[in-house]
Amino acid sequence: MTTLLTNIREQQPLVLNVANLVTMQRVADAINVLGASPLMTDEVAEAEELVAIADAVVLNTGTLSEARWPLFVAVGQAANRQHKPVVLDPVAVGMPYRAQFVTRLLEMITVDVIRGNAAEIGWFAGVTVAGQGIDAHETDAHVANAVNAAQQTGATIVQTGVIDVITDGQSTRQVTTNSLLLAVNVGAGDMLSGMVGAFVAVTDDYLLAGETAAQVLGQAGEQATAQGPNQPGTFVATLFDALYQMAQAEVIA
Ligand SMILES: Nc1ncnc2c1ncn2[C@@H]1O[C@H](COP(=O)(O)OP(=O)(O)OP(=O)(O)O)[C@@H](O)[C@H]1O
Ligand SMILES: Cc1ncsc1CCO
Ligand SMILES: [Mg+2]
């Protein structure tokens, strides 16, 4: 974990985001406190030149539209051409318009990592999963969905829930952290997807990148929850403090 955090701190990779319009600031902050540089774009004309200076690209379809379709394609294709890793966050992909949007997108670009919750990853596996994630006793099905989704898409999957499952379809890892406030906060998943972007920017090992991002967010979430278990508003600020302190740990020590 510390090695990749050190890499981020030293290399300060640029993470280019086609973000959703709800949690954009939080995603930028999460990338920033890790020591990477966030950049958000909403313009097709600059896709090629921004991808050229980026170290990774994150496509979040949370506020997709037909008007924004060319943007997703342009940034995704530029990243593929320029061999920059692509992370996809397929927000609510089970809804019909979103499903066909993501299906079309995956016909036009290659994504390296897909980060989603259990319902979203289940969609890639062809399985309907109840919207609010999983209970611990459903772990086996949860893991099987992620493995199946990786095999169907060819992407490394980072599936979040009570247990985070990271798999490339062959090797599978689990991260278990226990901070309910992460699940309560709108955008924790989007933040994680942005953070995965920072990690894939500094290693070709996408399994390790996904696992490390999930560990870092989960541990920061636990630290922040311990300071105010019933304070979801305060939690967001404390979470950024904890992330920053983890990223800077070796400097401070
Ligand atoms: N029930 C839970 N208990 C503990 N942690 C959880 C739970 N559900 C999710 N998390 C954690 O919350 C973070 C975000 O995952 P989540 O599955 O909520 O993403 P999401 O649904 O895409 O969120 P959003 O759309 O609000 O960004 C992850 O770090 C995950 O481990
Ligand atoms: C609430 C919401 N609606 C579209 S994107 C988003 C943020 C969670 O991904
Ligand atoms: Mg989400």
Domains of the chain: 2-252 (3.40.1190.20)
- State residue 134's pLDDT score: 45
Q: Distance, CA 251 to ligand 2 centroid (Å)?
A: 35
Proportion of the chain above pLDDT 90, given as a percent: 88
* Residue 191 assigned as binding residue: no
* Residue found by looking up tokens 């394609």 in the block: 73
* Residue 104 assigned as binding residue: no
Pick from 87, 117, 132 the residue to mutate for probing ligand 1's pocket: most ligand atoms within 8 Å of its CB: 117
* Residue found by looking up tokens 């290693």 in the block: 203
- State residue 155's pLDDT score: 98
Locate the ligand 1 atom nearest the alpha carbon of residue 175 and give its number: 31
- State residue 253's pLDDT score: 44
- State residue 140's pLDDT score: 82
Question: What is the side-by-side order of every strand in the sheet holding 156-160?
Answer: 37-40, 14-18, 56-60, 86-89, 113-117, 156-160, 163-167, 172-176
* Residue 81 assigned as binding residue: no
Q: Encoding tokens for residue 239?
A: 């979470």
Locate the ligand 1 atom nearest the alpha carbon of residue 218 and give its number: 29
* Residue 210 assigned as binding residue: no
- State residue 121's pLDDT score: 97
C-alpha–C-alpha distance, residues 150 and 144, integer Å: 10
Q: Taking ligand 3, which is a single-atom ion, which protein residues have CB atoms under 5 Å away?
A: 91, 189
What contacts 158, CB < 8 A, 6 or more positions away?
A: 113, 114, 115, 116, 164, 165, 166, 192, 193, 196, 210, 213, 214
Pick from 160, 179, 219, 235 the residue to mutate for probing ligand 1's pocket: most ligand atoms within 8 Å of its CB: 160
Cite the DSSP H helix spans in 12-136.
24-33, 47-53, 69-81, 96-108, 118-124
pTM of the model: 0.96
- Residues 43-54 have pLDDT tens digits of 999 999 999 999
Q: Encoding tokens for residue 28?
A: 């930028």
Other CB atoms within 10 Å distance of the CB of residue 100: 11
Look at ligand 1, atom 18, and give the residue with the nearest C-alpha. Answer: 183
Q: Encoding tokens for residue 74?
A: 């342009």
Q: Encoding tokens for residue 249?
A: 């740990």
Q: Which residues pair with 58 in a beta bridge?
A: 17, 87
Low-confidence residues of the chain, pLDDT below 70? Answer: 131-138, 250-253
C-alpha–C-alpha distance, residues 212 and 201, integer Å: 13
Ligand 2 pocket, residue 91 CB under 6 Å: yes
Kindly state the greatest CA–CA separation across the chain: 50
Whole-angstrom CA distances from 65 to 12, 72, 93, 215, 216 are 31, 10, 13, 32, 32
Q: Encoding tokens for residue 84?
A: 């920059």
Ligand nearest to the CA of 23: 2
Locate the ligand 1 atom nearest the alpha carbon of residue 191 and give its number: 27
* Residue found by looking up tokens 């979103």 in the block: 98
| ipTM field | 0.98
